[in-house]
Amino acid sequence: MPPDLQVSVSPHIRSQETVPRIMWTVAGALVPAGLVGLYVFGWRILVVVSLSVLSCIVTEAASLRARKLPLARLRDGSAVVTGVLLAFVLPPHAAWYVPVVGGMVAIGLAKQLFGGLGHNVFNPALIGRAFLQFAFPLQLNHAEWPYLIRRPLLEIFRGDVASADAIAGATPLAVLKDAPGEVFSGGWSFWDLFSGYMPGCIGETSSVAIILGGALLIALGYVNWRLPVAYLAALVAGVLLFPVAGADGALRAGLPAIFDGTYPWQNLAVHVFSGGLMLGAFFMITDMVTSPMTSRGQVIYGVIGGIMVALIRLYGGYPEGVCYSILIANGFRPMIDRFTMPPRVFGQRDIAAGGTS
């Protein structure tokens, strides 16, 4: 048969992009945030990240073997990305068994049990993190986390002597939850918050490093910019427009926070640039498998997630909220796709256009 008459199985469109290429690019985009975490918290984070990645790889290999699938699938890099993301949302002092158990749950329960890459409904790294939240609450939620925090690079560039001080301090969101307006009273600055020189988890403190990595993914077309923007904008709108709540979650007034004279504006900066919001916006909620397929659906999806973060942070007993907000949004994804992707019948006449579609 002549080549021009050959019929092949769809799809017919070929692309240079492959799953391994995308996954390893995402892993590379996480490097800046990891380097900041290494500088701020010290070598201890290498243990947590390594154990998390190794646990994910071993669990993936065991699952593939049990399902009689080729171990070559390990080369796609998805297990490595899951391990890194899981480690990035853990505290630097986490015991060795915390990332190990988290990796096993993330891959074994949230990914392979659903059928492997491309079939999971919920983000594997966040399922692992949510499980650890209940399994080891004292490890993850202790009010006074010990940190080995190095002095900011800015001070070193000015000629100050570099040093490392062991300090104990609550995360900015924990301070905001208990004592609004006192986040910056202990000597912290907005630059500290933005650069990553603040207590927090391994890879989520430096907004500037995360934004750089996220911008790379957007430029390469791996991430639709509408999704992180919708997620962040919904959080900002919720923080400013929802009624102000006290430390106990009770409403102090019926007015939105933007009209409450006692509400310090710097609190908005804490909500946006601390905790896991930036990491969630650029690397978690944008997961290709668990996010909607259309631009309109991704905007709706991002708004749902952002509103959930605001509600949990403002009125819940938990100072964070990114993990659960994205998992809740994951649950809405099938319905969003259903209503934003109507089936199109080929050959159906488009009456308005006067032709066929």
State how far the Cα of 333 lies from the Cα of 330, in Å rounded to an integer.
5
Would you state the pLDDT for residue 346?
Answer: 57
Q: What are the b/e assignments for 44-71, b being 16+ CB within 10 Å?
A: bbeebbebbbbbbbbbbeebbeeeeeee
- Of 44, 258, 232, 256, whose CA–CA distance to 150 is shortest? 44
Q: How many residues does the chain have?
A: 357
Q: For 106, which DSSP code?
A: I
- 349-350 and 243-245 as β-strands: parallel, antiparallel, unpaired? unpaired
φ/ψ bin of 188: left (φ > 0), alpha (ψ from -120 to 50), beta (otherwise): beta
More confident residue, 53 or 44: 53
Would you state the pLDDT for residue 155?
Answer: 44
Please check the confidence at residue 306 and state whether its pLDDT lies above 90.
Answer: yes
Q: For 121, which DSSP code?
A: S
- Kindly indicate the confidence band of residue 301, based on its pLDDT and cuts at 50, 70 and 90: very high
- Of 126, 43, 83, 48, whose CA–CA distance to 329 is shortest? 126
Quick one: average pLDDT of 60-88? 93
* Contact yes or no for 150/163 (Cβ under 8 A): yes
Beta bridge partners of 221: none
Would you state the pLDDT for residue 157?
Answer: 36
Would you state the pLDDT for residue 156?
Answer: 38
State how far the Cα of 48 lies from the Cα of 186, in Å rounded to an integer.
29
**How do residues 163-213 score in pLDDT, each as one tens digit?**
444 444 567 787 777 766 666 655 667 787 888 877 788 998 899 999 999
Would you state the pLDDT for residue 87?
Answer: 96
Q: Hey, where are the domains in the chain?
A: 19-140, 172-337
The pair of structure tokens assigned to 67 is 């399902």
Quick one: average pLDDT of 156-166? 41
Please check the confidence at residue 250 and state whether its pLDDT lies above 90.
Answer: no
State how far the Cα of 183 lies from the Cα of 206, in Å rounded to an integer.
17
**How do residues 107-143 score in pLDDT, each as one tens digit?**
999 999 998 888 999 999 999 999 999 999 887 875 4
Phi, psi of 165 (to 5 degrees): -120, 130
- Kindly indicate the confidence band of residue 152, based on its pLDDT and cuts at 50, 70 and 90: very low
Please check the confidence at residue 100 and state whether its pLDDT lies above 70.
Answer: yes
Please check the confidence at residue 350 and state whether its pLDDT lies above 70.
Answer: no
Amino acid at 221: G
Please check the confidence at residue 219 and state whether its pLDDT lies above 70.
Answer: yes
- Between CA 102 and CA 323, with CA 303 as vertex, the angle to 5 degrees is 15
The pair of structure tokens assigned to 238 is 């919720």
Please check the confidence at residue 240 and state whether its pLDDT lies above 90.
Answer: no
- Kindly indicate the confidence band of residue 146, based on its pLDDT and cuts at 50, 70 and 90: very low
